[in-house]
Structure 1
Amino acid sequence: MATEHADNAHHAEHALTPSGYIEHHLSFNAQPVADGAGFWTLHVDTFVMSVALGFLVMGLVWLVARKATAGVPSKGQAFVELVFSFIDDQVKNIFHGNRHSFIAPTALTV
């Protein structure tokens, strides 16, 4: 019983405030690129998740592209074509220059 009260008192001393919560997530698994880098910090957890999701999406697109046919498209092929045309339309509406050289591939990557 006494240890429960001690644990509760310990947690009450270190109650997490909204600003403390944000500060924790801005500094958790953060590796500064240089001393006093400030903004130039590598967030390891974000980097790992981005790479993992990138490989997952590339793998799914590769599987769909491998099974693509010229006839009636499968559901996966139709979905990938829908995503590609959506991104191309967005780039076309926003950027009026030569969008195929840099802008559209960058938008597709993001």
Structure 2
Amino acid sequence: MSAEGASQTSIEYIQHHLTFLTSSDGFWSFNLDSLFFTLLTGIIFLAIFYRVGKKMTTGVPGKLQCVVEMLVEWIDGVVKENFTGNRTLVAPLALTIFVWVFLMNLIDLVPVDYLPQVAQMLGIHYLRAVPSADMNITFSLSIGVFCLILFYTVKSKGFGGLVKEYTMHPFNHPVFIPVNLLLETVTLVSKPISLALRLFGNMYAGELIFILIAVMYSANMAVAALGLPLQLAWAIFHILIVVLQAFVFMMLTVVYLGIAYNKSEAH
């Protein structure tokens, strides 16, 4: 907890760290901090892979090239097992999702006061640096996946097949079209919602726990002494969450696209 934060009550400190830097009030406001760090992590991802691509060698590869090659081969294998169609788009998409979400999640391991203090020195009073702890960002990602699900459904069976899939299944009779449409629509919409809420919930909880641990430093000496070991323990455990949530989001995206592409064959 920073010196400035020490002058705040615990509730004020928590509220301050959970407040976004917004462009305005109302429905059309934008969380500028989330957008900034989303773009920043995207640029970092592109820069790393562009550098590796430009300097790639068939001889003895460097450490970064080894990591990138292993990552590409691993994700390509995951896509190959779960998507039977052309992987030209899906494999790069899966790679992008995994690395991008991982980098966004990784920001959560930066001590909670560091980046807000830098922002304060620049005259920025609020800053939340973890984009994946912002529901707007996670829903933006999942809506993109939702559009791809519809795209691959139409690609595999045509627009008429899309209509038939959501009106004649699971009960293959015209009388049950309203029921089928309701059931299939709920199933379809639940996919992006579950993707978004799962990532948001896990990262928001992790961010909140780091903030609560930071609050302990302003307490009496006995409680404050527990802050550092708790922070280290949670950071080590949180590394698993950071990687796991990136993998789950990527894996479910590939699985959903595979189901959309192959569902007509199952019918």
Q: Which one-letter code corresponds to 2:59 in the other structure? A: G
Measured on the aligned residues, the alpha-carbon RMSD in Å equals 3.1
Unaligned residue ranges in structure 1 (runs of 5+) = 1-7
2:28 is aligned with 1:16: no
**1:85 aligned partner:** 73
- Equivalent-residue separation in structure 2 for 1:43 and 1:103 (angstroms): 29
- Structure 1 letter corresponding to 2:78: Q
Instruction: Report matched runs for 1:54-65 at 5 Å.
Output: 54-65=42-53
- One-letter amino acid of the counterpart of residue 45, structure 1: D
Aligned mates of 1:48, 1:31 — CA distance in 2:
12
Question: Deviations for 1:38-86, whole angstroms, at most 9, x for unmatched residues?
Answer: xxx6432121111111111221222222222122222221111111112
Match of 2:84, SS state, is: coil
Structure 1 distance, partners of 2:55, 2:27, is 50
Matched residue type, 1:104:
A
Residue 3 of structure 1 is matched in structure 2 by none
How high is the sequence identity, in percent, across the aligned residues? 31
> Using the alignment, how far apart are the partners of 1:50 and 1:93 within structure 2?
30
Structure 1 CA distance for aligned equivalents of residues 49 and 21 of structure 2: 31
Change (3 A) 1:94 1:31: farther
CA positional deviation for 1:30: 4.0
Partner of 1:28: 20
Q: Which runs of 5+ in 2 are unaligned?
A: 1-6, 98-267
Change (3 A) 1:67 1:36: closer
Q: Per-residue displacement from partner, 1:76-109 (whole Å, max 9, x unpaired)?
A: 2111111111211121222222222x22122122
Give me the whole-angstrom Cα distance separating, in 1, the residues matched to 2:76 and 2:47. 21
The structure 1 segments of at least 4 consecutive aligned residues displaced by more than 3 Å after TM superposition are none
TM-score normalised according to structure 2 size? 0.28
CA distance in 1, matches of 2:63, 2:20: 40
1:76 aligns with 64
Greater fraction of residues in helix: 2
For residues 107 and 93 of structure 1, the distance between their equivalents in structure 2, rounded to whole angstroms, comes to 13
More strand per residue: 1 or 2? Answer: 1
